[in-house]
Structure 1
Amino acid sequence: MYDDILLPTIGSPGGERAVAEAIDLAELTGARLHILYVVEDDSRKGLSDGRWETIREALRSEARDVLAGVESEATAAGVEAITHVGEGRADEAITDYASENGIDAIVMGTHARTGVNKFLLGSVTENVIRRAEQPVLVVRLDED
C-alpha cells in the first residue's frame, strides 16, 4: 500500500499528534518514514547576505535537532526513518520533495484556523493538499 510516507514537521509541541500518526501508519504498512523540516527562505527578508547565512545556519541546526528527535521516535517503533532539511516556501518544498522521492502519502498537521487568522497566516497544509499528487492525511494539532 505505502512504501514511503512523508512527515513534514517543524517540531512544534502541538505537532506530536501528527508525528504519532505518521509513525503508526508507517509501522502498520511497513513503510519508510521521510521526515522533512523546511527552513523557509522568507525569513531572510531585509537581511544582508552575511546576516542571513548566520541565521540560516542556526535554523538548519535547529532543524537537525528536531529531525533527530522524530527519527529517534520512529526507530524506537521499528520504523526506518530518513531525514531531510529543505529550504524555500514550505508548501512547494514539501510537494517537490514528495514528487522527487517517490512518496506515496503525506501526513501533516493543521491548526484548523478559520476566518481572519487563516487569511492572514495562510495554510501550508491547504496549499499542500491543492498541490500534492499523493494522498494527504491531515491531523488536527493540539493547541500550542
Structure 2
Amino acid sequence: MREETFKKIMVATDGSELVKKAVETAIEISRLSGAKLYAVYVVVPTTRSPRDFGWEKAAMEHFMSEGKTATRFVEEEAKPAGVVVEPVILQGHPADKIVEFAEQQGIEMIVMGTLGKTGLDRFLLGSVAENVVRHSKTPVLVVRGESPEQE
C-alpha cells in the first residue's frame, strides 16, 4: 500500500549526465508516494541583435529540441516504475522559472541536481540549485551528481 505523502513532484532537468541521479531520485520518490512527476526544462532566451540573420530563431529551436530530449528522458526512465510524467518546457531565468512554476502548480517537492561546485567556481558560475533553495517556498531536495571523472 502506498503512502500518499506527495501528489506533485518536480524534477528540474538540463539534460546533462549530472542530473541523472536527481531524475532517479525523483522517480523513486514519486513511485513510493504515488505522485505525478513534472519534468521541467528551462530555455534561457537568447539576446536579440538587429543583425542576427535568423540566429536567434535557430538557437531557440535548438534549445527547445534539447528540452524535449531532456524531458523525454525523464518520461522513458519513469515508465518502468509506473510514474506519470508531465513534460514542461519554460523560458526565462532557470531559478526564477522553477520557483514560479512550483508555486503556480502547487508542487510539493522540487528535486534537482548540482555539480557541487564551491569557492570561485560557484561565485563565477552562480548556482541554479542554490538560488532555488534560497527563494523557494517549496521544499527542495538537491542531489549531487557524479561527473564523468568520478565514475
1:7 aligns with 2:26: no
SS at match of 1:119: helix
Measure how far apart 1:45 and its partner are: 3.1
SS at match of 1:54: helix
SS at match of 2:15: coil
SS at match of 1:34: strand
What fraction of aligned residue pairs are identical, expressed as a percent?
38
Give the aligned CA root-mean-square deviation in angstroms. 1.3
Tell me if the contact between 2:42 and 2:97 (Cα under 8 Å) persists in the aligned partners. Answer: yes
Measure how far apart 1:57 and its partner are: 1.0
Report the equivalent of 2:33. 29
1:21-100 equivalences in 2 (<5 Å): 21-41=25-45, 44-45=46-47, 47=49, 48=52, 50-100=54-104
Tell me if the contact between 2:10 and 2:107 (Cα under 8 Å) persists in the aligned partners. Answer: yes
- How far apart are the structure 2 equivalents of 1:79 and 1:103? 16
Report the equivalent of 1:142. 146
1:100-111 equivalences in 2 (<5 Å): 100-111=104-115
Measure how far apart 1:50 and its partner are: 3.0
Structure 2 gap ranges (5+): none
- How far apart are the structure 1 equivalents of 2:126 and 2:142? 16
Report the equivalent of 2:133. 129
Measure how far apart 1:15 and its partner are: 1.3
- How far apart are the structure 2 equivalents of 1:49 and 1:26? 44
User: Which one has the largest radius of gyration?
Assistant: 2
TM-score normalised to the size of structure 2?
Answer: 0.89
Which of 19, 22, 26 is the matching residue for 2:23? Answer: 19
| Aligned residue-pair number | 142
Paired AA for residue 62 in structure 1: E
TM-score normalised to the size of structure 1?
Answer: 0.94
